[in-house]
Structure 1
């Protein structure tokens, strides 16, 4: 049985993975276009042409996922959005000591659920 913190951490990790995957192509294209010694390659030409587009797309996806995570990371008891308590996503993914309870109802996030 998963604790509420483990379920929230799983959601937050998936969101962070999507954000990293979205930014990775833009960073690779930027590095290739800035350090391109072989301009004859079709891949290098493509990176030079489109890295700004990839960067804008990555910024949009990163922002959209961060916004979606602010709605998905909720207390399982009272459905209070944990982002309203100024809890960053990375603090949920790590076992951060200062996030132990819901800021609204006081549910212990590390307690196992008793049905």
Structure 2
């Protein structure tokens, strides 16, 4: 009779261990699902942005960059000392940020 109860206790322990392993697996799956629910829309949004940027033509911008080489070296030096390059970069970045903010709802307060 003692052997029967020890075997029954082992089976009950095995079932409880199986349910605890199942609970841990379900929690891990739910955690992965929660992370994916948060990350998936961001990944899709960024892949759309990458597709849009790859589809844009920057030929007009790169064609105008050749105009700097036709200027005399003195003028390019003075423009560099005045900081025209970083200033143009800051202005272009500000315009790009403003255009991106226009796409977000409820941020059109000042424009």
Structure 1 or 2: more helix by fraction: 2
**TM-score under structure 1 length normalisation:** 0.28
Rg larger in structure: 2
